[in-house]
Structure 1
Amino acid sequence: MTCIDKIDPAAPRAAVAVTSNHLAAELSETLKLAVPLALTQLGQIAMMSTDLAFIGRLGSEAVAAAALAHTVFFVSFTFGMGLVSAVAPLAAQAFGARDPHVMRRALRVGLWVALFMALPLMFLPFHGESVLLALGQAPAAAHLAQQYLFGLVWGILPALWFIALRGFMSAVNRPEPVLWITLAAIPANALLVYLLLYGKWGMPEFGLFGAGLATTTVNLGMFLAGVWFAARRRPFRKYHVFSRIWRIDRPLMGKLVAIGAPISLSFLLEYGMFGAAGLLMGLISTPALAAHQIALQIAAILFMVPFGVGMAATVRVGHAVGRRDPDGLRRAGYVAVLISGTFMSVMTLAVILARFEIATIFLGEASDTAAQLTAMLLLIGATFFIADGVQTTTAGALRGMNDTQVPLLFATISYWLVGFASAYALAFWTRLGAPGVWIGLSLGTAVYATLLILRFRLLARRLGK
């Protein structure tokens, strides 16, 4: 009897069944993590939209000031958010390795890094008016923006602490408390903004400063609620996450900074490219800038779901790294990318079909120049939306392997050498104008997504060997 004769004919079918079961299990586990995280991100967008809706009643100048204030604020906050985001992969790898001691240390160093970074990060918002005036903004709008920033700036530290807690809770496969806290924060934020912005129910009328102060208060409340869950509720309390909180773990803190700093810079490169694209639109025309802002808002809403899936991918890949499971690592990464790609494909089709209605909702008349241009940009965004979802999810998977430095290089090349350069060239060296800017954004994002997928394949194959 030959070796071939000895092979069980049912073995290939059994192997396929095992693989299918593993994929189904991975899909289920990823969705359990991703859905609460994605809904949490959408909740954050809902709070921002509520703020703008209330501020809008003060007039267009107040809305413009709020937009400028958010631009300044998020430059600082994004850098801190990238650093603290490194808590998730460190804690997830420790969870996979069944090392609760390192899990506790990961959260602890995240909280300390947030504290050390908070004061430097507050410098820019405290001087927002000077920065905006230096960039050529109108003095009245810059002054109003500064009032809003004076209220917002104090919320940086509790917001960063909440992100650290979110990373820890996700690492132990329990992101639901973060979602519950966010859902409770939406009406609380709306009520506080209403009271402090307009001075209702006997409260002082603080204007834009009151709106910022309300957001800061809600951020503090969310952090305190997160502390309660982490310290008192199962399964978190068994990790004793606040035990010896005063101890500064310098080696692990250095590792967190080494992982998190490239994430921060990548976020800033991406954020900077879209900000620069807005400046290009402003040079083209006012309708072009309005259309760009609306299309970008739609993109931001859609982006929240794959961003949540990317956070889930960080955790799932981190678990596989911790338990030394290269097959599980590959499954976690590819399943997450499949989820994001499928979701964004469906939503992109919906946006294409409803692009004129979306423009009308924001701008009124569908025949308006800005509305027509908005519909065109949303059509061009068909490739951009999908690539954007794939890149953020793949980047999340790479973070689960602590791979953040090479993606930073990819972001520099893709967003600026390809994306912004193409946007500028197509907008001003051809007759494309505003559509050329979005074609450039789409090219840069597609290149970034492709490079990240190739990087993930390379590392997954290398770890498998």
Structure 2
Amino acid sequence: MSDGPALTPWRTELRATLHLAAPLALANLLWMAIGTTDVIFVAMLGQQALAASSLAVTQYMLISWALTGLTGAVAPLVAAELGRRKHAVREVRRSVRMALWLALGTGMIGVALCSWGEALMLLTGQDPEISRRAGAFLAIIRWAIPAMVVSSVQRTFVAALGRPMLATAITAVAILVNALGNWVLIFGHFGLPAMGLEGSALASVITAFAMVAAYAVVIAADRRLRRYRLLGNWWRPEWQRLREMLRIGLPIACIIIAEGGFFSSAAYLMGRIGAAQLAAHTVALQIAALAFQVPFGVGQAATIRVGYHYGAGDREGVRLAGLAALWTAFAFSFVGAGIMLLFPRHVLALYVDVADPANAQLIALAVQYLAVAALFQLFDGIQAVGAGALRGLQDTRMPMAIALFGYWLPGFGLSLGLGLFTPLGGLGVWIGLAVGLVVVAVLLLHRWRRREALGLLPR
């Protein structure tokens, strides 16, 4: 029995969204598994080492993600070019070439910014010894930034060209490379000296460059991807395209800085409250971030699908792409929230020994934080897809303003006030995180629903 022709476009779009989102979300989860591997190995070195790596990684990841957001402007540009003309080889190559230029140039700027990491930690009142160890860790891991940004551009290219499973496979291999690197370099195997905490940082650098090499190999080996000849005329500038990428990408980078800085600031607030609170925050946030990777992948797919219809001038396609992404993200966020709320200790057992009496305080605090994380999962999914869909319409400036307002006024304001000036302590910090996400999600969803009235749709 047929459901009727009216459902066909919806089902077609939902299928296309899932086909793109599933491997991207899986790749995101696998990427988080790389971070989880680091946490597991570093946790074996003690609570102080875990706290130091947490402070360093918050800075490293904030800079890295901001730069991947800047170069991430290549996603809506490539999607729109493919929507306008299915075989837009030259246009796609030019956009990706400029994105790679941008990745290398800004990646080196990111390396330089990490030079002030330890000074920033001391300025924010962190423990001097933890800051010293974090600074030494950051001095090594910062060299992974250029490679990480380049691999992000490569990943966007293969996903937009219909090969998202390549990103999944490469990230899966990267987990093995990173785990082996941690095991060998931290504890000293195969005749190498035991480097301790710094060994984990070096393993991350090796993994980042291995991913760039892997993407280069698979792009050269795949017939469809190879025809774009990404390195052809690599020295030739496309200044207009670069300006367009900066116009779209700079607000995206600011959004990531606003959100990433918001969550990073929570780590610094926790560091002022206590080492146990910071360690519990690190583990709980790792779990919340892991659950977020599915709606984040859906948001990435929304950028490409909405951008494709935007380039084709298909308003109904834009609507269906956004709707399919929102419902998909909502469903997965609901599942993630349920797991965190109902089985917190089981989830925490993946990271720490919940039966060890030495971890009792950490576990008790982390369970409280996960309860709050479960409540904001749905809104986190909505803001991820809302931002991704608007990005597909090449609308990034107002979402930037929304992120700056929502995360830093009601969000950080509450985290600071409740965390440092009330008995709630770390729990108050997490309440502020939840409020910031709710405000941003509601405002982004409102803007998406008013896209036609705001003149965001193609003519």
* Matched residue type, 2:18: L
Q: Which of 339-348 and 61-70 deviates more?
A: 61-70
Indicate how the Cα distance of structure 1 residues 408 and 123 shifts in structure 2: closer, same or farther if over 3 A, else same: same
Question: Which range is displaced more, 239-248 or 384-393?
Answer: 239-248
3-state DSSP of counterpart to 2:444: helix
Q: Do structure 1's residue 97 and structure 2's residue 89 form an aligned pair?
A: no
- Correspondence list, 1:424-435, <5 A: 424-427=416-419, 432-435=424-427
Shift of 1:261: 1.0
Could you say which residue in structure 2 is the equivalent of 1:4?
Answer: none
Deviates more, 1:386-395 or 1:45-54: 45-54
* Distance 1:430-1:149 versus aligned 2 partners, 3 A rule: closer
> 1:378 and 2:376 equivalent?
no
Counterparts of 1:148 and 1:111, CA distance in 2: 27
- TM-score when normalising by structure 1: 0.90
2:344 alignment counterpart? 355
- The 1:209–1:423 alpha-carbon spacing in structure 2 relative to 1, beyond 3 Å, is closer
1:187 aligns with 2:179: no
Give the structure-2-normalised TM-score: 0.91
CA contact (8 A) 1:363 1:371 kept: no
Say whether the 8 Å CA contact 2:336–2:374 is kept in structure 1: no
Give how far 1:251 is off.
0.8
SS for the counterpart of 2:223 is: coil
AA paired with 1:392? A
Query: Are the aligned partners of 1:152 and 1:213 in contact in 2 as well (CA < 8 Å)?
Result: yes
| Separation in 1, partners of 2:252, 2:322 | 18
Structure-2 change in CA distance of 1:178 and 1:457 (3 Å): same
1:10 corresponds in structure 2 to none
Q: Is the 8 A contact 1:398 1:456 kept in 2?
A: yes
Most deviating of 145-154 and 40-49? 145-154
8 Å contact from structure 2 (residues 303, 392) kept in 1: yes
- 1:75 Cα offset (Å): 2.9
Q: Is the 8 A contact 1:360 1:366 kept in 2?
A: no
- The residue that corresponds to 1:3 in the other structure is none
Q: CA deviation at 1:357?
A: 4.2
Work out which of the residue numbers 5, 8, 16 in structure 2 matches 1:29. 16
Residue pair 2:55, 2:267 contacting (<8 A) in 1 also: no
Q: Distance in 1 between matches of 2:46 and 2:420?
A: 33
Amino acid in the other structure paired with 1:30: T
Instruction: Tell me what 2:263 maps to.
Output: 274
What does the per-residue CA deviation read over 1:176-197, in whole Å, with 9 as the maximum and x for residues that have no partner? 1111111111112211222222
Which of 395, 398, 402 does residue 403 from structure 1 map onto?
A: 395
Deviation at 1:105, TM superposition (A): 0.9
Q: CA deviation at 1:78?
A: 2.3
Deviation at 1:133, TM superposition (A): 3.1
Which structure has more RCO (C-alpha within 8 Å, separation ≥ 6)? 2
Q: Say which of 392, 414, 421 aligns to 2:406.
A: 414
Distance 1:360 1:169 in 2: 35
Q: Distance in 2 between matches of 1:352 and 1:45?
A: 20
- AA of the residue aligned to 2:392: G
What residue is the counterpart of 1:244 in the other structure? 233
**Aligned equivalent of 1:442:** 434
Give the SS at the match of 1:239: coil
Kept after mapping to 2: 8 A contact 1:313/1:333? yes
- Structure-1 separation of matches of 2:239 and 2:180: 42
What are the equivalent positions in structure 2 for 1:109-128 lying under 5 Å apart? 109-128=98-117
Q: Do 2:313 and 2:458's aligned partners in 1 also have CA atoms closer than 8 Å? A: no
Matched, 1:74 2:69: no
Given the alignment of the two structures, is residue 364 of structure 1 paired with residue 354 of structure 2, yes or no?
Answer: yes
Matching residue within 192, 196, 203 for 1:203: 192
Letter in 2 for 1:240: R
Q: Does the 8 Å contact 1:152/1:212 carry over to 2?
A: yes
Counterpart residue type for residue 440 of structure 2: Y
Deviations 1:211-256 (A, max 9, x none): 3222212211211121122233121112222211111111111111
**Quick one: structure 1 residues 57 and 104, their matched pair in 2 at CA, closer, same or farther if it must change by over 3 Å?**
same
- Where structure 2 has 5 or more consecutive residues not aligned to the other structure, the ranges are none
Distance 1:297 1:92 in 2: 31
Question: Matches of residues 293-304 of structure 1 in structure 2 within 5 Å?
Answer: 293-304=282-293
- Deviation (angstroms), 1:36: 1.0
Aligned residues, how many? 452
Contact 1:423 1:440 in 2 (8 A): yes
92-101 or 54-63, larger mean C-alpha shift: 54-63
Change (3 A) 1:30 1:198: same
Match of residue 47, structure 1, among 23, 26, 34: 34
**Distance of 2:335 and 2:214 partners within structure 1:** 35
Distance 2:97 2:383 in 1: 29
Maintained 8 Å contact 2:75/2:157: yes
1:455 match: 447
Amino acid at match of 2:28: Q
DSSP-derived class of the 2:443 partner: helix
Instruction: Specify the code of the residue in structure 1 equivalent to 2:442.
Output: T
Q: CA RMSD in A?
A: 2.5
Q: 1:352 to 1:23 in 2, by over 3 A?
A: same
Q: Name which of 386, 391, 399 aligns with 2:383.
A: 391
Residue 290 of structure 1 and its aligned partner are, at CA, apart by 4.4
Larger radius of gyration: 1
For residues 340 and 124 of structure 1, the distance between their equivalents in structure 2, rounded to whole angstroms, comes to 34
1:305-324 → structure 2 map (5 Å cutoff):
305-324=294-313
Task: Give 1:39 deviation, angstroms.
Answer: 1.1
Name the CA distance, whole Å, in 2 between partners of 1:257 and 1:373: 42
Residues 1:163 and 2:152 are matched in the alignment: yes
Q: 1:431 to 1:147 in 2, by over 3 A?
A: closer
Tell me, in whole angstroms, the C-alpha distance in 2 between the residues paired with 1:116 and 1:168.
19
Q: Secondary structure at the match of 1:459?
A: coil
How far, CA to CA, are the matches of 1:151 and 1:427 in structure 2?
Answer: 32
The residue aligned with 1:330 is: 319
Cα displacement string for residues 292-315 of structure 1 (whole angstroms, at most 9, x for unaligned residues): 333322211101111111111110
Query: What amino acid is the match of 1:144?
Result: R
Report the more deviating stretch, 337-346 or 225-234.
225-234
User: Cα deviations across residues 397-440 of structure 1 (Å, max 9, x unaligned)?
Assistant: 11111111100000011111221223344456766554443333
Q: Secondary structure at the match of 1:106?
A: helix
Shift of 1:41: 1.1
Q: Deviation digits for residues 135-161 of structure 1, max 9, x if unmatched?
A: 333443333323322331222111111
* 8 A Cα contact 1:359 1:372, kept in partner: no
Give the residue type in structure 1 aligned to 2:308: H
